[in-house]
Amino acid sequence: MIKNEKQYEYSKKWAEKFKEANRKLQENEEKRLKDPDGWQLLQDSNEALRQSLLNEITEYEILVAHDLDKPIILTVNSMNKLSDVLIKARIAFKINLYELSILCDRPEEKISSFEEKDYQNASFVDFLAVSDALGIKLQEGKFVAELDDFYKEHLATIRQTENVNTTFKVAS
């Protein structure tokens, strides 16, 4: 799962590399004739990896384009991936790790560590605090995230404070 802009750019580069590798492989007639099964296996594995990256890229683009004033339905393939719901909601609501740390009253380093380790190092209470801040609820068997007015107002205050601090630093 792509969690940030850096991973997004990195994934796009690798998807292009897999595409280029397959293009070069298709031009290698000698390899295809010498080892057709190996040649096809390389083609298929490169394309599978590229397609997986393209799916992640598309998902990230959809999350980034989401209107934060609207709820979002989030899906996971397994209960082991519940952390993805938290990360996807954060991305969809355009909340950075600093802002999330303030919303759920946890140090930014802790929130960053949680995301790096897919919340495997988060306590149940920490997991619930993040889930609550992001407005995640289970409705009719689906995870739905919607920021409530309290958190929207708190987020606006955080961002206003960040802008004032940034303006002050630039002016100094």
Q: Where are the domains of the chain?
A: 5-65, 72-171
How far is residue 23's CA from residue 13's CA, in Å, rounded to a whole number? 15
Is the predicted pLDDT of residue 146 greater than 50, yes or no? Answer: yes
Q: Kindly report, residue by residue over 54-101, the tens digit of the pLDDT.
A: 999 999 999 999 998 899 999 888 788 899 999 999 999 999 999 999
CA-CA-CA-CA torsion sign (115, 102, 57, 83): positive
166: pLDDT confidence band, cut at 50, 70 and 90?
Answer: low
Domain covering 72-171 assigned CATH 1.10.260 in the classification: yes
How far is residue 61's CA from residue 66's CA, in Å, rounded to a whole number? 9
Among residues 99, 113, 108, 101, the alpha carbon closest in space to that of 153 is found at 99
